[in-house]
Structure 1
Amino acid sequence: MHKRTESKELNMARTIIIEEVGGPENMKLVDWPVGDPGPGEIRIRHKACGLNFIDVYQRTGLYAMKLPHALGMEAAGIVEAVGPGVTHLKEGDRAAYASMPPGAYSEARVMPAAQVCPLPDAISFEQAAAIMLQGLTVEYLFHRTTPIGKGDSVLFHAAAGGVGLFACQWARSEGIELIGTAGSDEKCALAKAAGADHVINYRSADFVAEVKKITGGKGVDVVMDGVGKDTFEGSLDCLKPLGMMISFGNASGPVPPVNLLTLAAKGSLKLTRATLFTHIADHAKCQEMAQHLFSKVVSGDVKVNIGQTFPLEEIAAAHRALEGRQTTGSTIITL
């Protein structure tokens, strides 16, 4: 990857693209054209962007894209220009987003405005780049997927990751009992400190047996599972009858086909495969969710945990760290 201090031309921006799917080495840092926004669009100059597993899924081809394509789903910065029909943002506004299409690994870009959200002054660009995708994910998991309230119990896998640490804090702020799993005692301690009521090191203990022990054999009301293949079967065994399994990620690989009779045999279980982008597709709903998230951060209910930072030209190292389970909290990319 070549490194430049800054792209001087307004119509060019340093951008990470892929021309074919594959490993981290397939990502290229290039000068990419940036035009003027059309109807319903904005041009935004990024100050920081986020790193998420969906970026890996797109890079590897698990989530197909037409190539070549820029990568990155989340960023924060300053609105430089506004196209016709955009009313919730203006030139000079601070803003942040987690939305389609990919292209956030860049100095600047033109993109649809509907899912870009005005950013309160109390939240820094770095914090915003760390919270949008993960925080909005937690918002829909706890508020828009199945009814969850004070006193309910949730099993959350990878509780020391970026989404997990948000979930631990969110659950604590709402009186929800959260059992978190993680892959080391150090990560378990992070989840516990963030608000998990119970933690399980899945490398040294059977998480199904531990959940049953913690719940007196009853199981939990809801499982939130972003790990995928490795935890799916055990997760079903952790649910109460009529419990809800929310599968929302594939960190260990996609879940194999499910026999619906298995759900019946395990207690008339409910199962959904949720995605953030369905929830934020509606402009008004997306803005509402973002305001809810920002209020949690500004109030202190949820603290932003930036575990590591990489410059844009070291994006391959960032991906390797994420895939190798070597990250904690959120990871941001600086420009």
Structure 2
Amino acid sequence: MSKAIRIHAHGGPEVLAYEDADPGLPGAGQILIRHTAIGLNFIDVYHRSGLYPPPGGFPLIPGGEAAGVVLAVGAGVDWLKHGDRIAYAVNVGAYCEERVIAADRVVKVPDGISDEQAAAMMLKGMTAEYLLRRTYKVKAGDTILYHAAAGGVGLILGQWAKHLGATVIGTASTADKIELAKAHGFDHVINYKEQDFVAGVAAITAGRKCDVVYDSVGNDTFPASLDCLRPLGMFVSFGQSSGPIPPFS
């Protein structure tokens, strides 16, 4: 019997239950896949803790991205076959060994990309895309600040922003994380445990500050992030790893 991790109520890690889960057979437009790697994201914690309501209610199989191989295809699926390597990003349901999923939600994984890489880049990569290209369209000459630079999204976004010609400033909490971020596109990384990041940004930019601040940390970095913005700059809140931003006026 295939296995899955389910949540039946909000709580800590102890509410994660390892249970039998029959994925069933694929219907029209669907495929049955066996996971080989599953991506982990903070939104999984939010669904478990109750910070975000669980899509579809309980019981819930968390997890928003994964990679695997096709085991069977349903009627009308003519571009995938048994054995194809695929990856995807969806709302929930990835914490399992096998699942049925709509075929139009997956992409083929090319040679040269491992299952682990594919599983870790889908949701995080799409997050980096909407931050850099749609929320605030970063261009050459911009200066950006990204909190948690050594995280999964940060390591993708740092390289992408550097390729676009931006000056990329990040924050991190340890020397190892700082070096990792610098190896992935960040020009400057501030150790926020040892230095006030607002003062650090002001020094790096000679007082000009940043065109945009991307913040997935939440409570611990707000409202100080606002002090890192130039006039008419943009603050982008897209996560709450340290807790939600408190009400403000």
- Normalising to structure 2: TM-score of the pair? 0.93
Q: Kindly tell me: are residues 89 and 229 of structure 1, through their superposed partners in 2, closer, same or farther at Cα, counting changes over 3 Å?
A: farther
- Show structure 1 runs of 5+ residues with no match: 1-11, 260-335
Which of 173, 180, 187 is residue 183 of structure 1 equivalent to? 173
Which structure ranks higher in relative contact order (CA pairs < 8 Å, sequence separation ≥ 6)?
1
Which of 52, 59, 84 is residue 68 of structure 1 equivalent to? 59
Q: Please list the CA deviations of residues 112-162 of structure 1 after superposition, one character each: whole Å capped at 9, or x if unmatched.
A: 333222211221111111211212211221112122111211100000111
1:313 corresponds in structure 2 to none
Distance 2:118 2:146 in 1: 23
Corresponding residue pairs, total: 247
Shift of 1:210: 0.9
Shift of 1:88: 5.0
2:13 corresponds in structure 1 to 24
Distance 1:224 1:156 in 2: 5
Distance 1:136 1:216 in 2: 32
Q: Kindly tell me: are residues 258 and 39 of structure 1, through their superposed partners in 2, closer, same or farther at Cα, counting changes over 3 Å?
A: farther
8 Å CA contact 2:218, 2:242 repeated in 1 = yes
Q: CA RMSD in A?
A: 1.6
The answer to whether 1:159 aligns with 2:149 is: yes
- Counterpart of 2:36 in structure 1: which amino acid? K
The answer to whether 1:170 aligns with 2:170 is: no
The answer to whether 1:14 aligns with 2:3 is: yes
Distance 2:219 2:102 in 1: 33
Distance 1:85 1:151 in 2: 48
- Counterpart of 1:223 in structure 2: which amino acid? V
Which of 121, 134, 137 is residue 131 of structure 1 equivalent to? 121
- Counterpart of 2:87 in structure 1: which amino acid? A
1:144 corresponds in structure 2 to 134
Q: Please list the CA deviations of residues 1-32 of structure 1 after superposition, one character each: whole Å capped at 9, or x if unmatched.
A: xxxxxxxxxxx411111111101111111111
Distance 2:41 2:197 in 1: 25
- Counterpart of 1:222 in structure 2: which amino acid? V
Distance 2:101 2:17 in 1: 21
- Counterpart of 1:128 in structure 2: which amino acid? A
8 Å CA contact 2:67, 2:118 repeated in 1 = yes
- Normalising to structure 1: TM-score of the pair? 0.70
Shift of 1:86: 4.2
Secondary structure at the aligned position of 1:181 is classed as strand
1:93 corresponds in structure 2 to 84
Distance 2:79 2:141 in 1: 38
